Structure 1
């Protein structure tokens, strides 16, 4: 097993979240907002989508070296399960569900003559004898078969949930009925499992989202890019939070020269153009890796180091906004009666900060975390588009968009790489924004009092 830096940080973050859940379990001031989120249709449906993306990201974060490999190749569990997609490449572009290449070439026939036409794909639909007559019927047949299997699998999980729920509630309540929230969650789960299984089943026979310039499956690229988006959204937040919380609370509580110093730091940092700072930092990393090639013998290790450093830079440049919010909130909290009473009774300032200030600003922290996640996912796409984002060898939606932008002007137009990146990124960002709205409604004290 191979543990990359980002892999280690991801699993540390998961254990930290589990520890926080155990610690906060039963806390009334946390239980009430969580119950409000659980009663939000949009919030719970978007949470199911987010958990599905997280599951894919975790499968892509367990890396190892295959036993039968002769080189320094490192793959993940997702790569292992998607081996046909990873290895069944074509020569160059092919459209979704196509059986031939996208451009005409000179084809060598069996009798030794040549012909100008569209060459057959090596893997996509290669079992069809007459693609023009058989392709549509074959795609529809396999789509129906794959959807039937996916729906059966989804139905199995749903029936299991209903059985558990009935045993827990049906015996107490003679009239067992699902709430509208549970129906929404189960409907979303059914759609995700059925649709995903259908795509996986079809990908064994066709390139469902086509191939790129070097013949790599676009569906595989889009799925692999999920981990990159999640890593940038979560690890950047993990790096940003400690600085924002500590500096924001200290500036608001102590005021004076402490407040002036912290304000000077984040004002100076904000005055530096973020794009230039990121570009300079990425250049430094590239120079360091070029001078220490013996430490980066694998392409995936080099790409992982650049991804980690990009998270660090984004975290350093994005903590100032939350710090300002926490400073303003702390300025208000330090004047309330219970904080003044604790100070008059001689309670240590560290205890006041931990017991009275920090818990009462956590709603701002939680709201900012979920709101910033989607903006960080979009930031990766923009930075990779201008070639200062993740490594070009890293699968990311930004690299897919960057690689597709020049092909949008060709004739015929190559549209599927850009469309695939847009659909996957749009789904993740939309789910994150909907869940952020539910969290904001639940944890905002002004709305909770309504």
Structure 2
């Protein structure tokens, strides 16, 4: 299907990501209909740390979704098509196309490596040449500090204005819902006396707006995070890696959670041979080192693709298939812990009076499971999903470091870290690629961990504020 000169392209990982979004929304909707989980969510949004973590995670999810809307530009004149791009690629076109010859430091004007250039008297000199794009608008290198201030200060002011606008909208909404004057709603917001931790959300959102505005302003004339060995902008690579991290964490859970829920519930509820079979299955998988199992599966897939080059002619198709396979492998090996936990809970739930009453009334077994057992297991599924997400994102970096992660052509934090180990051994040291991958990964993993801690506390029945 072609829309004008744009031909939509749906990759397998794109489909997985949108399924993850739909499954997450469905899970949240189902949780809000469960009284205990609804009370836990109300407790969760009162916690400043949890709300701040959610605000930080939202831009990551937005970037991943923009990078999962792929298309191919078609020339109406001759029907020729360019390579597959995403909406994020189009938005970041200046960062994607402005490449240098080699390394350059963050906000630098000169290359990080010396080159041989002819001097004024005809002699060959070893110099650090000016960058082709970074700071090319400056006639003199001495003007860089003034130019940085001229770009950063108005951008920071614009970010603060955006935060003030958000605060005004929240105050107006609070005043309307509470039927009170706007000044009283503003005082409640400043004191933090609201049912939702809006003060924490607004402070975090304002900080993100200021940071994004400053980076966007500086990126118009500089390489904010420098460039890599082939001259690619590191900021662009870091943003492109967000999609890979989100897909690795989300798609792996999309495979692991249903397996754990079905097998764990069946083992605990039915018992007998079903329980023996499930225990034998996860005991066998748990006896095999996970890294070796993943490495064997990935290397087998590589051999298959090498032997069938005609079916995987495109580099992007090959990289997408390997990313999908890695998610399936991580999911197929990551359900064991949750399965054991759900099996134990199901053993306890099947002996409760209301479950026994449903059995005595002759209700079908799976109807009892879906109506009485699964709603009481949903808090464990939610908590495990948030906790395991961080571990899966970090697992991609480890697997890419040992060479069995995503395809080398796929932009990911793991590949950036794998490349950085060689850069740290050179002189002078190239540190910014590793630092960028670390900061962006920390920005995804740390809020997820904070959210998991807050969710664990909210779901803890021993918390006094959850007691009737």
- TM-score with structure 2 setting the length: 0.91
After alignment, is 411-420 or 179-188 more displaced? 179-188
Q: Does 1:401 align with 2:417?
A: yes
Task: Please say if residues 73 and 298 of structure 1, whose CA atoms lie closer than 8 Å, have aligned partners that are also in contact.
Answer: no
Deviates more, 1:104-113 or 1:183-192: 104-113
**Equivalent of 2:437, from 421, 426, 431?**
421
**Among candidates 153, 158, 174, match of residue 162 of structure 2:** 153
Helix, strand or coil: the match of 1:103? Answer: coil
Q: CA deviation at 1:153?
A: 3.0
Q: 1:203 aligns with which of 214, 219, 235?
A: 219
- 1:111 deviation in Å? 6.6
1:108-147 mapped onto 2 (5 Å cutoff): 108-109=118-119, 112-131=122-141, 133-147=142-156
Matched, 1:63 2:70: yes
2:94 maps to what in 1? 84
Residues 359-381 of structure 1 deviation map (CA, whole Å, 9 limit, x = unaligned): 11111111110000000000000
* Structure 2 residue 410 is the aligned partner of structure 1 residue 412: no
Q: How much does 1:204 deviate?
A: 1.1
Q: Is the counterpart of residue 4 in structure 1 residue 5 in structure 2?
A: no
Work out whether 1:102 is the aligned partner of 2:109.
no
| Distance verdict in 2 for CA 1:381–1:324, change over 3 Å | same
Q: Does residue 370 of structure 1 match 2:379?
A: no
Is residue 2:20 matched to residue 1:13? yes
Matched, 1:29 2:36: yes
Q: How far is the alpha carbon of 1:293 from its aligned partner?
A: 2.7
Q: Distance in 1 between matches of 2:131 and 2:373?
A: 64
Q: CA deviation at 1:72?
A: 4.9
Q: How does 1:349-360 map to 2 (within 5 A)?
A: 349-360=365-376
Q: How many residues align structurally?
A: 449
1:52–1:23 CA distance, 2 compared to 1 (3 A): same
Task: Choose which of 249, 252, 255 in structure 2 pairs with 1:239.
Answer: 255
Q: 3-state SS of the aligned residue for 1:66?
A: strand
Range 254-263 or range 155-164, more displaced? 155-164
| Cα distance change on mapping 1:95 and 1:173 into 2, 3 Å | closer
Is it true that 1:47 corresponds to 2:76 in the alignment? no
Q: Quick one: structure 1 residues 324 and 138, their matched pair in 2 at CA, closer, same or farther if it must change by over 3 Å?
A: same
The question of whether the paired residues in 2 share the 8 Å contact of 1:278 and 1:313 is answered with: yes
User: Could you tell me whether the CA contact under 8 Å between 1:228 and 1:395 is conserved in 2?
Assistant: yes
2-side partners of 1:26 and 1:255: how far apart?
Answer: 29
Q: Using the TM superposition, give the Cα deviation of residue 30 of structure 1 relative to its aligned residue in structure 2, in angstroms.
A: 2.8
Which deviations, in whole Å up to 9, do the C-alpha atoms of 1:159-198 show, x marking residues without a partner?
3333333333344898322162211100000011110121
> What secondary structure, in the 3-state scheme, does the structure 2 residue paired with 1:106 have?
strand
Corresponding residue number in structure 2 for 1:93 = 103
Structure 2 gaps of 5+ residues are 1-7
Instruction: Tell me the CA shift for residue 338 of structure 1.
Output: 1.9
Question: Is 2:357 aligned against 1:337?
Answer: no
How many angstroms apart in 1 are the aligned matches of 2:455 and 2:140?
54
Please identify runs of 4+ aligned residues in structure 1 that moved more than 6 A.
Answer: none
CA 1:10–1:259: 2 relative to 1, 3 Å: same
Q: RMSD of the TM alignment (CA)?
A: 1.9
Encode CA deviations 1:56-114: one digit per residue, 9 max, x unaligned.
Answer: 11111100112359565111111101001001000001000110111212123477543
Aligned in 2, Cα 1:424/1:14: closer, same or farther, shift over 3 Å?
same
- Show CA shifts across 1:201-229 (max 9, x none): 11111111111111111111111111111
In structure 1, the partner of 2:184 is: 175
CA distance in 2, matches of 1:56, 1:75: 14
The 3 A distance-change label for structure 1 pair 108 and 166 is: farther
Structure 1: runs of 5+ lacking an equivalent? none
Aligned partner of residue 335 in structure 2, secondary structure: helix
TM-score where L is the length of structure 1: 0.95
Q: Is the CA contact 1:72–1:298 (under 8 Å) kept in the aligned structure 2?
A: no
**Deviation of residue 152 (structure 1)?**
2.6
Tell me how far apart the structure 2 counterparts of residues 172 and 130 of structure 1 sit (CA, whole Å): 55
Could you say which residue in structure 1 is the equivalent of 2:45?
38
In 1, the alpha carbon distance for the partners of 2:275 and 2:238 equals 45
- Alignment partner of 1:100: what SS? coil
